[in-house]
Structure 1
Amino acid sequence: MATARTYPGPARTALVTGASRGIGRHLAVGLAAAGLDVALLARDSALLQEVAGEVTGHGRRAVVLTADVTDAEAVTEAVATAERELGSIDLLVNNAGLADAEVPLWEADPEQVKQVIDVNVYGAFLLARAVASGMLARGGGRVVDISSGAGVRDKDVMAGYNIAKTALFRIGGGLHEAGYERGLRAFEVAPGVVATDMTAGMAAHADRTDWTPPEAVTEIVAEVATGGLDPLSGCYLRAGTDTIEDLRARAAAAGDSASTGRRLIVSEWEVPAR
């Protein structure tokens, strides 16, 4: 069993959900450019094949996994395929997600809210559960949830999305608390507001001009993959706000303090002193 001071080596492989478009596509291709082989999971096989071509264009292996993240059996089979084809899953990026209508809770469609929670939360749970045993058997691994500032502050609309993003913090926190001493690292990464099909259709961003570049999200996740931010396991990292230099400094200052089981958490406005 890995000890509290044993850190897993740099990730060589990754599994990215929601990899067919938007942030997931950027992450998959960016991780390939950083030297990782990438398993690509989404429901649209044709789009995944396009992304796979970009991954192999960087000289890395790509595995296409057509599955619904809310289907437990399909997720188990997809993870087994990825592990067989790549040899391991060293980094999981839970990116698949939906947003509900921009209305207050009492006007929300219950079925739509349920679907959002199923995809964003249950799907992330299933993926984390499926990869964790292999990671622990190999001495550790890393899980990144693509979260949101909506998880740490109240909003007047999109009840399902806000519930879901808050719940992701508990998934990451639970992985950190239970798995840190065995080499498991977990991070909540807020991507800011990236121009995607989802954000383009939202009234809240209709007049936005200050979009977060997707490269800022990829840069943080790629740094997580190297192990350079391992002392910040359990933390909330914010693309477009946290620079790589700042995060590296925070990680250096934290040292091995996370191994005590203390959460290195977070509020939208400040990170408490360690």
Structure 2
Amino acid sequence: MESANDGPDLTRVRFVLVGPQSGGNVGAAARALKNLGFSRLDLVAPECDPRGEESRRMAVAAEDLLRLARVHETLDAALDGAGAAIGTSRREGKQRRPHYRLDALAPELGRLMAAGDLAFVFGREDSGLTDAELDRCTHLVHFLASDALPSYNLAQSVLVAAYTLRLALEGSTAAAAPEPLADHASREAAFVHLETALLAIGFLHEDTAEGMMRRIRRILGRADLTPGDVQVVRGIARQVLWLARTAGLSTPAEDEPEHPSGLGPDEE
């Protein structure tokens, strides 16, 4: 989608910092975003004062981004309304989705942004994003780095991501608008609904459900789910639960929870 001046609408991109611990990093990230024309900064449970003296000193001329930054209690709240969420991590677990190097994913960024609001998600300075938080992301990326020092500073990561995205958007050509992507809340509700159904028929078991659902998320995540796709997934789950009840299997009284398990709504 383009703005009124025929350029990319950068207000549809949000940069989400989860548990930032250094006010200096928050301020430097705000400055990097403003350098590149971005304006949306979201913070999840910050462990520092994002508008304190250190943050303001490092933001220089980007204090307005600090004032306007939205603070959330949960990542789900910060991703509300986003179509695609790009999680940053250099760690790889045996059940984790494949990582893209950011520059390899760059050609897709314009398409993802055209299909809905885009979020870049960054983890804590000392430990990054948890597995549960990475599960909330539609894509995972890492940055080109030397083996001698592969970890980027948080503010540096924001700068690299913002610069790469801006280059990708500048180089993209106008094309027919793709079908919108399903938003974060509807995707998560569909995954919870499907997990409930698969538990009901014994395909999933309580002690192994988390790992198997991570694999299912990985499979479905490759499809860039649209609102129609989400309805199909929920229709399958609904029918499975109906058949389970018909067969006399034990099923939950409520098969369509409003919020993902363990992660509640925003209470700003």
TM class, shorter-chain normalised? 0.3 to 0.5
TM-score by length of 1: 0.35
Higher helix content, 1 or 2: 1
Structure label with greater radius of gyration: 2
Higher RCO structure, 1 or 2 (CA under 8 Å, sep 6+): 2
TM-score by length of 2: 0.35
